[in-house]
Amino acid sequence: MSALIESDVAALVQAAIEKHGRNPDAFIPILSEVNHVFGHVPGDAFREISRQLNIEGGRVNVVESQLYGLASFYDMISTKPRGRHVIKFCENAPCHVVGGKAVWDTLQETLNLKNGETTPDSKWTLVTTSCLGLCSVGPVLLVDDDMYGNVTPEQVTDILERYE
Amino acid sequence: MKTKRAMILVSNDPESIRLGANEVVQHLNEALASYDLQDEVDVSTISDVGYSNILPLVIVYPDTVVYGPVKASDARYLVEEHLYKGRVVNDLLAPPKALTGPIGFLRGHKGYNPAEQRVVLERAGRIDPESIEEFISANGYEALGKALSELTPEGVIEIIEKSGLQGRGGAGFPTGRKWRFVRGAKGEKKYVVCNADESEPGTFKDRLVLEGDPHLIIEAMVIAGYAIGADEGYIYIRGEYGLAYQHLETAIAQAKEYGFLGDNIFGTDFCFNIHVHAGAGAYVCGEETALIESIEGKRGEPRSRPPYPTTNGLWDKPTLVNNVETLANIPPILRNGADWYKSLGTPSSPGTKVYTIMGNVNFRGVIEVPMGITLREVINIYAKGMKPGSILKLAQTGGSSGSIIPADLQDTPMDFESFRKAGVSLGSGALLICDQHTCIVDLVKVLLQFFRFESCGKCTPCRVGAQRIYEITKRLTQGQGEIADLDIALDLISEMERTSNCGLGQTAGTAFRGMMTHFREEVEAHILNRVCPTGVCSMDPETAQSDYIFITQEK
Amino acid sequence: MINLKINGKEVQVPEGTTVLQAAGQVGVTIPTLCNHPDLHATGGCRICVVDVKGWRTPMASCTLPASEGMEVETHSPAILKSRKTILELLLANHPRDCLTCDVGGSCELQDLSYEYQVQVPEWGTKGTRYIADSDPNPFVRVDMNRCIQCTRCVRACTEIQGRFVWTMAERGFDTHPVPGADTDMLDARCESCGACVAYCPTGALSDKMSYGQGRTHQVKKVMTTCTFCGVGCQFELNVKDGRVIRVTSTEEAPVNGNHLCVKGRYGYDFIHHPDRLVKPKVRRYLIEGKKKKTKGKPWEWVETDWDTALDLAARKLHDVRTNFGADSIGVLTSAKCTNEENYVMNKFARQVLGTNNIDHCARL
């Protein structure tokens, strides 16, 4: 990790701790914030979070292994680098029965990716996700924070073209 | 408050926003300003009202005219015609067929649209969720005032017990009894936890409440805190619900400002604070002990029970965990009384139930109806029938862990009691309606894929069992199934039901079992004839690939 | 006190006792895998499930508190079948390498499979998912293919050693222990105490130095006290063909139980090291009875027998004491000696030599 990013992580972690506090109930929100900014939680960030939580005024003692255990458990936090844009496709039954599989196949073909993979140019990462609670407009896919409902295979290219 | 002669509501659920709801609001405001109507007409937003084809939706009150879909370019014309000249814009009207629920009612299509009975979703979609004034003017915080000024904590619990309210998280445990347990538990410090980790696929009722009526949950939690003797509460909301999280944060700040939350609520000695805690994507955290572990900053692995959260919950203190829909029933019950509540629904399952309807039907969305209506009624009346060309093959109730209901069981009343007798589970209220083009094996494979992905991995039966049943089902879809596999799977499922640590593993095989009970012939066709009767499954061994990359060990 | 019935036998236990412990009291052994008496119980593996009257499903006895009037069945046919299924599930993706596995014969999974006569099921994941011997730690051999996700390594590292090296990562079928943020053990602050190895019920974590050198039933175990410091930890030297091939800890050790530090568990290679002194050595000029010289090789160490060496030492001490007085001698003892040895040295200094100049390295 470059020196620039390292100081970024430190500042980000500090801000997250100020916002969410130092108690154990802040661990997941802090990891989520780091994940939101970097797209994943880099290895050094675990150590940085534990370092900052354990210094002055820290009521908790947490080490990077525990934080890694958390991050890898929760689906919205990634421990591996992802592309600039992450496509999350709902693979659950309500989207599946209204034509989700065709959309998923088209996505895989168009991007030439399988579930969990990232394109060589680091533009796209394609993952499946569990239900997003938007079942009334399924099939649903999420590009970064943008939600697309009632998606048809024909719309896939159009949606992908919106992103740089 | 200034008197306004009209109000315009624009839907701002995620789908509407994507389709330009924010631009519509902006253009409406500009248009109003250009006609100098800005002081007479208010523009506000409503959250998801459960419609999908007519978004963004614009409702003009007090006439209650519903327009949709409305584009930003329509805004100026709409303001000029409707609000300046006073004429309804027929071109932009939402098709009457698309309307249901309270909006449909107000629009005057009685007789065409079925009667919904909205208790939980009473305000969702009708008030601005970011305005506490609108909530208060719609009887908000009235129940809390009544509880704190007229009732003892014991009195509150008595009313809830008398109402017969059962937990809406799926298990149907009597709410009043749970409250009494926590009230009776030893300990100075107690917690109220609202389970808003609504992750059951096909369920989004809690999202509608949280996005559209966040104060309702705050009010209910404060009442619960008063009744059980707690001064702190957590709302565990799933990480995917960003908008609901924002609305809750706003609502909490407003409630504090108004003295409905914080110290000395309503001028009494009672104090209560609420934290909103966002999850990070784990279905299993809907299980109450996993949820508690997750708040405590641990992996969301369910604890062994007993002891139960009612005595050893959050931070090992007595904790009341209630689902959003359960809590949403509390204020209306206190306002209207236990007898009113019991008059809704069936004697064994009082009240209403919010269902989310999905699948191959004409209307997909949310309805709130009394307990005990049948699946046939839901499909033919509320869901406006199957899609053209579709015939009902099966329905799945209660999300992924729910039961498969074949078409011939569609007249069973949907309440906890009748469903229990029929051996199916009502679950979270998700109703997935599937037509004749759905292959049961393919559907079950998708459901099992979900469980193997969402199993927490703590206990052996669920961690490995879910993977095994998934593999067996997947082999069926690839034309590689064996008859012997079916018995192995059923045997595994019954052991998972017996020995899994929590409901996830215990219910993971429900759909598979339902498939074998009701659709055995179709499954056997996949094995004996190597044919998928609906033509959905590839039946191609070539596509059989392992889900895992195996490592060749270097010698 | 709480009264309950286990397999029809009345048993009385204090409040807070688990059903598993209560069963032990009446001589009923319930099999366990993830449970260990030294560690916090989690109820994960489910092998210890028992039938409890009034409960819909069997309960994990390791976490179930005994309660008044409880009626427990530990070995009903249905329970035996459930245990068999759980073992099958654990074996379904376990490598078929028991023939070459180091812990064959001392593997809890193997023992239970034998007891319940479980065959490795046909269905299951074929192939291995993790690299064998994946960690560069010089003492601990990691093979996650053999892991049964009991989390004993995580709890041992957390609750006994307090190093928090291991954590469970991922979820579902992918759940497995990793060190730190998925790095290697030493990078994750590991002190190589080997507690995780001691508590691992299978061959997932084993001793690297002795890997392939001998299994439990092939060795003679000799209980001894550690010589590295004065704590007095005890452990078993595993001796095969006259050589110490491994050290194993045992709960029977009164001071330390299963716990050892890196030196005790892995610092045994000195025993058969070619450089190790096994006979006393003295300076050549002393053995030749000559004066110190600076030319030639009079300073050279030469091997001798104990009598010669001790005689020389005694004579020299006597000379010094006679010529310069007892206080010209000082005695420094070692933390690597036992209490008894240090006591003897104390007597020797004060009563034989007649000086109070005695100290101990632990004070330095």
Residue B425 has pLDDT above 80, yes or no: no
Among C9-23, C107-121, C289-303, which stretch is predicted with the lowest mean pLDDT? Answer: C289-303
Instruction: Please tell me the predicted confidence (pLDDT) of residue B316.
Output: 95
Tokens describing residue C127: 């192939």
The whole-angstrom separation of Cα B8 and Cα B18 is: 19
Nearest CA distance, C62 vs chain B (angstrom):
10
Instruction: For residue range A98-135, list pLDDT tens digits in order.
Output: 999 999 999 999 999 999 999 999 999 999 998 888 88
Contacts of C155 in chain A (CB under 8 A): none
Architecture per CATH, domain C2-75, reads as Roll (3.10)
> Is position A79 within any domain?
no
Instruction: For residue range B356-400, list pLDDT tens digits in order.
Output: 999 998 888 888 887 777 787 788 777 877 888 888 999 998 888
Nearest CA distance, A64 vs chain C (angstrom):
6
Mean pLDDT over B213-242 rounds to: 96
Instruction: Please tell me the predicted confidence (pLDDT) of residue B550.
Output: 60
Q: Is C312 exposed, middle or buried (0-12, 13-18, 19+ CB in 10 A)?
A: middle
Instruction: Please tell me the predicted confidence (pLDDT) of residue A74.
Output: 95
Residue B112 has pLDDT above 60, yes or no: no
> Domain residue spans in chain B?
6-106, 132-341, 352-435, 444-543
Q: Dihedral of CA B488/B493/B495/B500: which sign? A: positive
Residue C69 has pLDDT above 90, yes or no: yes
> Is position A8 within any domain?
yes
Residue C31 at interface with chain B, using a CB cutoff of 8 Å: no
Fold of B132-341: Rossmann fold (3.40.50)
Report whether C184 contacts B469 (CB < 8 A).
no
- A35, B272, B377, C34 from A142: Cα distances, Å: 16, 37, 33, 40
Asked whether the domain spanning C126-266 has the same topology as the one spanning C2-75, the reply is no
Q: Could you tell me which CATH class the domain C126-266 is placed in?
A: alpha beta
Chain B, nearest residue to A144 by Cα = B240
Residue B240 and residue A146: Cβ atoms within 8 Å? no
Among B63-72, B93-102, B180-189, C20-29, which stretch is predicted with the lowest mean pLDDT? Answer: B93-102
Chain B, nearest residue to C134 by Cα = B553
Residue C274 at interface with chain B, using a CB cutoff of 8 Å: no
3-state secondary structure of A28: helix
**B444-543 CATH:** 1.20.1440.230
Instruction: Please tell me the predicted confidence (pLDDT) of residue B105.
Output: 38
Nearest CA distance, B519 vs chain A (angstrom):
17
Counting Cα atoms < 13 Å in the Cβ hemisphere of B30 gives: 12
Instruction: Please tell me the predicted confidence (pLDDT) of residue B113.
Output: 37
Instruction: With CA atoms as reference, report the closest residue to B366 among B13, B9, B5, B8.
Output: B13
Q: Name the band, by pLDDT with cuts 50, 70 and 90, for residue B422.
A: confident
Chains that touch A (3 or more CB pairs under 8 A): B, C
Chains that touch B (3 or more CB pairs under 8 A): A, C
Report whether B216 contacts B260 (CB < 8 A).
no
What domain range includes position A59?
3-73
Report whether C168 contacts A69 (CB < 8 A).
yes
3-state secondary structure of A33: helix
> Is position A80 within any domain?
no
Partner residue facing C149 (CB), from B457, B461, B497? B457
Mean pLDDT over B76-81 rounds to: 88
* Alpha helix segments (H runs only) across A2-161: 3-20, 27-38, 43-54, 64-73, 93-95, 101-111, 155-161
Most C CBs within 10 Å, among A34, A60, A64, A65, to test the C interface = A65
Residue C92 and residue B461: Cβ atoms within 8 Å? no
Residue B546 at interface with chain C, using a CB cutoff of 8 Å: yes
Report whether B54 contacts B130 (CB < 8 A).
no
Nearest CA distance, C96 vs chain B (angstrom):
14
* Alpha helix segments (H runs only) across B337-459: 338-342, 375-377, 416-422, 440-454
Mean pLDDT over B80-102 rounds to: 75
Residue C357 has pLDDT above 60, yes or no: yes
Instruction: With CA atoms as reference, report the closest residue to B410 among B448, B348, B361, B444.
Output: B361
The whole-angstrom separation of Cα C321 and Cα C324 is: 6
Instruction: Please tell me the predicted confidence (pLDDT) of residue C282.
Output: 92
Mean pLDDT over A135-156 rounds to: 90
Domain boundary among A25, A50, A73: A73
Most B CBs within 10 Å, among C120, C173, C175, C178, to test the B interface = C173
Residue B454 at interface with chain C, using a CB cutoff of 8 Å: yes
Higher model confidence: residue A1 or residue B207? Answer: B207
Whether ipTM > 0.90 holds is yes
Residue C127 at interface with chain B, using a CB cutoff of 8 Å: yes
Hey, what long-range contacts does C213-217 have (CB within 8 A, 24 or more apart)? C213/C240, C213/C245, C213/C246, C214/C238, C214/C240, C214/C245, C214/C246, C215/C102, C215/C103, C215/C104, C215/C105, C215/C106, C216/C103, C216/C105, C216/C106, C217/C105, C217/C106
Residue B70 has pLDDT above 50, yes or no: yes
Mean pLDDT over A7-18 rounds to: 90
Chain B, nearest residue to A22 by Cα = B297
Residue B176 at interface with chain C, using a CB cutoff of 8 Å: no
Instruction: With CA atoms as reference, report the closest residue to C52 among C44, C41, C61, C62.
Output: C61
Higher model confidence: residue A135 or residue B337? Answer: B337
Nearest CA distance, B299 vs chain A (angstrom):
5
Residue C172 and residue B466: Cβ atoms within 8 Å? yes
Q: Is B470 exposed, middle or buried (0-12, 13-18, 19+ CB in 10 A)?
A: buried
Report whether B420 contacts A70 (CB < 8 A).
no
Q: Could you tell me which CATH class the domain B6-106 is placed in?
A: alpha beta
Residue B43 has pLDDT above 60, yes or no: yes
Residue A124 main-chain phi, psi, to 5 deg: -120, 140
Residue A155 main-chain phi, psi, to 5 deg: -80, -10
Residue A145 at interface with chain B, using a CB cutoff of 8 Å: yes
Domain boundary among A15, A50, A73: A73
Residue B142 has pLDDT above 80, yes or no: yes
Hey, what long-range contacts does C299-306 have (CB within 8 A, 24 or more apart)? C303/C279, C304/C279, C304/C280, C305/C279, C305/C280, C306/C279, C306/C280
Q: Name the band, by pLDDT with cuts 50, 70 and 90, for residue B115.
A: low
Instruction: Please tell me the predicted confidence (pLDDT) of residue C345.
Output: 95
Residue tagged 């009334």 (tokens):
A136
Q: A119 and A61, same structural domain?
A: no
Report whether C213 contacts C246 (CB < 8 A).
yes
Mean pLDDT over A16-42 rounds to: 92
Residue C118 at interface with chain B, using a CB cutoff of 8 Å: no
Nearest CA distance, C169 vs chain A (angstrom):
5
Instruction: Please tell me the predicted confidence (pLDDT) of residue C358.
Output: 94
Nearest CA distance, B409 vs chain A (angstrom):
20
Q: Name the band, by pLDDT with cuts 50, 70 and 90, for residue B96.
A: low
Q: Could you tell me which CATH class the domain B352-435 is placed in?
A: alpha beta
The whole-angstrom separation of Cα B162 and Cα B159 is: 5
Contacts of C172 in chain B (CB under 8 A): 452-457, 463, 466-467
Q: Name the band, by pLDDT with cuts 50, 70 and 90, for residue B524.
A: very high
Q: Which of residues 41-60 of A touch C (CB under 8 A)?
A: 43, 46-47
What mean pLDDT value characterizes chain A? 89
Q: A69 and A27, same structural domain?
A: yes
Residue B415 has pLDDT above 90, yes or no: no
Q: Dihedral of CA C116/C117/C120/C122: which sign? A: negative
Instruction: Please tell me the predicted confidence (pLDDT) of residue B52.
Output: 67
Chain A, nearest residue to B355 by Cα = A136
Q: A154 and A98, same structural domain?
A: yes
Residue A38 at interface with chain C, using a CB cutoff of 8 Å: no
Residue A163 at interface with chain B, using a CB cutoff of 8 Å: no
> Is position A43 within any domain?
yes
Nearest CA distance, A7 vs chain B (angstrom):
25
The whole-angstrom separation of Cα C27 and Cα C36 is: 17
Residue B240 has pLDDT above 70, yes or no: yes
Residue C203 at interface with chain B, using a CB cutoff of 8 Å: no
Residue C173 at interface with chain A, using a CB cutoff of 8 Å: no
Most B CBs within 10 Å, among C89, C128, C143, to test the B interface = C89
Residue C181 and residue A47: Cβ atoms within 8 Å? yes
Residue A158 at interface with chain B, using a CB cutoff of 8 Å: no
Instruction: Please tell me the predicted confidence (pLDDT) of residue B1.
Output: 38
Q: How many CB pairs under 8 A join A and B?
A: 143
Instruction: For residue range B286-300, list pLDDT tens digits in order.
Output: 999 999 999 999 999
Mean pLDDT over B142-168 rounds to: 95
Tokens describing residue C45: 């593996």
Instruction: Please tell me the predicted confidence (pLDDT) of residue B98.
Output: 64
DSSP state of C121: P
Q: A67 and A91, same structural domain?
A: no
Residue B488 and residue C123: Cβ atoms within 8 Å? yes
Residue A156 has pLDDT above 90, yes or no: yes
What mean pLDDT value characterizes chain B? 87
Nearest CA distance, C319 vs chain A (angstrom):
60
Q: DSSP characters for C12-57?
A: EE-TT-BHHHHHHHTTPPPP-SS--TTS-----S-TTEEEETT-SS
> Is position A95 within any domain?
yes
Residue C172 and residue B455: Cβ atoms within 8 Å? yes
Total residues belonging to chain B: 555
DSSP state of C64: P
